[in-house]
Amino acid sequence: MSRFLATVLSVVFHPLLVPFYLFYIVCYQLPGVVGHPAAPDRWLVLAIVGGFTLGLPGLGAALLVQFGYADSLELRQREQRAWPLLLAATGFAIAAGLLHRPMVFDVLLFNMMVGMTLAVLLTLVITLRWKISAHGVGMGGAFGLLLLLHLGGAAGPAAAGWLAGAAAAAVAVGSARLALEAHSPAQVWVGLALGLGVALAYVAVS
CB 195 within 8 A of CB 119: yes
Q: How many CB atoms lie within 10 A of CB 130?
A: 11
- Tell me how far the alpha carbon of residue 140 is from its chain's centroid: 9
pTM attached to this predicted model: 0.90
Q: What is the pLDDT of residues 48-58, one digit of tens each?
A: 999 999 988 87
How confident is the model over 63-121, as pLDDT tens digits? 767 766 666 556 666 666 778 888 899 999 999 999 999 988 999 999 999 999 999 99
Percent of the chain exceeding pLDDT 90 equals: 62
What is the Cα–Cα distance from 159 to 109, expressed in whole angstroms?
17
Q: Compare 158 and 104 and report the one with higher pLDDT.
A: 104
Q: Mean pLDDT lowest for which of 52-56, 169-173, 191-195?
A: 52-56
Domain ranges of the chain: 3-204
Nearest 5°: CA angle at 15, between 194 and 152? Answer: 55
